Amino acid sequence: MASHGGTNLQAIMDACAQGVLNAEVKLVISNNSGSRALSRARAGNIPALHLSSITHPRFEDLDLETKNMFLLRGVNYVVLAGYMKKVGPALLQAFSGRILNSHPSLLPKYGGRGMYGDKVHEAVIRNGESETGVTIHVVDGEYDSGRIILQDRVPVLQTDTIDDLRQRVQKVERALWINVLRGFCDE
Is 56 an annotated catalytic residue?
Answer: no
How long is the chain?
187
Query: Residue 108, preceding bond cis, omega within 30 degrees?
Result: yes
CA distances from 166 to 14, 57, 107, 119, 130 (A): 21, 32, 16, 10, 15
Alpha-carbon distance of 52 to 66, in angstroms, equals 9
Instruction: Select which of 50, 103, 121, 137 is catalytic.
Output: 103
Distance of CA 183 to the CA centre of its chain: 17
CB atoms within 10 A of CB 151: 16
Alpha-carbon distance of 60 to 70, in angstroms, equals 16
**Which residues does the annotation mark as catalytic?**
103
